[in-house]
């Protein structure tokens, strides 16, 4: 039981054996914060998993709003991924450089848009390279496809709904930012943002879900989430800095069979930059037995 893994995560052995299958699409969704000092596009050009398509989360986004990588409309998403040769019935495997950082966001995005067979590569590209697996430098091109979206808007939270959730205390809130940013003992990386967290939120830093880029076992995920004061029998909304690492919590929840969850897309880049949203500082409240 201790080794029981998420049904949404695939191993490098499995993926290498499946490479080249006509219904498989591998996506390089690497994304880095400035402090990480890595260039996702340059790394893709230098070497990627053979056949992988570069999926830029800042390009396939709604640019009509001043927030980073906001979820696109279903029509925009369908058009963009269709041009990449991806259909809603394809088997889609998403990876990032670190192993478990940006790939769950793209996993979540495809699922919200109606794709069913979407997975995350355990260990990411760093793990793939460390094991001496093959790399490609050819920019993969596929024939365009029609992606027919089935957008599930119930899985996405916008600002006004998030305000109501916070003011009414109607949902559990799980925050994937670092403990220091949550408690306001360290500054936000984006200028002009307040530090702290939403009233009632629980701290679940994204880094606690993996060991060396590999997703924890199901029992470990359960213990990690429950130790933060999250009740797995009740609804959850996930949040983070800009909507990327919140999806790591979502992946953990879904892996444990928790389906009643939503992701706050604007996350702290929206909440923390406004004057009409409540912010508290310090550690999360004591968990009641």
Give the count of alpha carbons within 13 A of 128, CB side only: 28
Task: Determine the 3-state secondary structure of 35 from DSSP.
Answer: helix
**Biggest alpha carbon distance in the chain?**
56
Q: How far apart are CA 11 and CA 130, in angstroms?
A: 14
Kind and range of the H or E element at 118?
A: strand 118-121
Q: How far apart are CA 81 and CA 222, in angstroms?
A: 33
Q: How far apart are CA 136 and CA 47, in angstroms?
A: 5
- The 10 Å Cβ neighbour count of residue 158 is 14
Task: Determine the 3-state secondary structure of 229 from DSSP.
Answer: coil
Out of 9, 183, 240, 253, which one is annotated catalytic? 240
Q: From 119, 80, 95, 106, select the one nearest 40 (Cα to Cα).
A: 95
Instruction: Tell the residue number behind the tokens 């009641």, with chain if given.
Output: 288
Residue 73 per-residue DSSP state: P
Show contacts of 207-214: CB within 8 Å, 24+ apart. 207/178, 209/100, 209/248, 209/249, 209/251, 209/252, 210/99, 210/100, 212/99, 212/123, 212/127, 213/98, 213/99, 213/100, 213/122, 213/123, 213/124, 213/126, 213/127, 214/99, 214/100, 214/122, 214/123, 214/127
22 catalytic? Reply is: no
List active site positions. 240
């Amino acid at each position: 039981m201790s080794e029981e893994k998420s049904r949404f995560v695939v191993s490098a052995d499995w993926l290498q054996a499946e490479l080249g299958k006509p219904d498989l699409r591998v996506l390089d969704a690497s994304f880095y914060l400035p402090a990480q000092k890595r260039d996702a596009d340059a790394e893709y050009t230098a070497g990627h998993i053979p056949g992988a398509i570069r999926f830029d989360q800042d390009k396939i986004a709604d640019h009509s709003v001043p927030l980073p990588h906001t979820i696109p409309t279903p029509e925009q998403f369908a058009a963009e991924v269709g041009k990449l040769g991806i259909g809603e019935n394809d088997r889609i495997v998403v990876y990032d450089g670190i192993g478990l950082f940006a790939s769950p966001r793209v996993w979540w995005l495809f699922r919200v848009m109606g794709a069913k067979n979407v997975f995350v590569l355990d260990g990411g590209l760093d793990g793939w390279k460390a094991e001496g697996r093959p790399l490609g430098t050819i920019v993969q091109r596929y024939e365009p496809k029609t992606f027919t979206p089935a957008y599930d808007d119930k899985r996405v939270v916008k600002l006004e709904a998030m305000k109501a959730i916070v003011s009414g205390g109607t949902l559990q809130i799980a925050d994937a930012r670092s403990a220091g940013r949550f408690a306001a003992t360290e500054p936000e990386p984006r200028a002009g943002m307040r530090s702290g967290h939403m009233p009632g939120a629980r701290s679940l830093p994204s880094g606690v879900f993996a060991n060396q880029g590999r997703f924890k076992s199901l029992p470990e995920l359960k213990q990690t989430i429950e130790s933060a004061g999250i009740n797995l029998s009740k609804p959850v909304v996930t949040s983070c800095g800009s909507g990327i690492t919140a999806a790591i919590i979502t992946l953990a929840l879904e892996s444990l069979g928790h389906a009643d969850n939503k992701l706050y897309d604007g996350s702290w880049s929206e909440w923390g930059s406004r004057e009409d949203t409540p912010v508290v500082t310090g550690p999360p409240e004591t968990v009641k037995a």
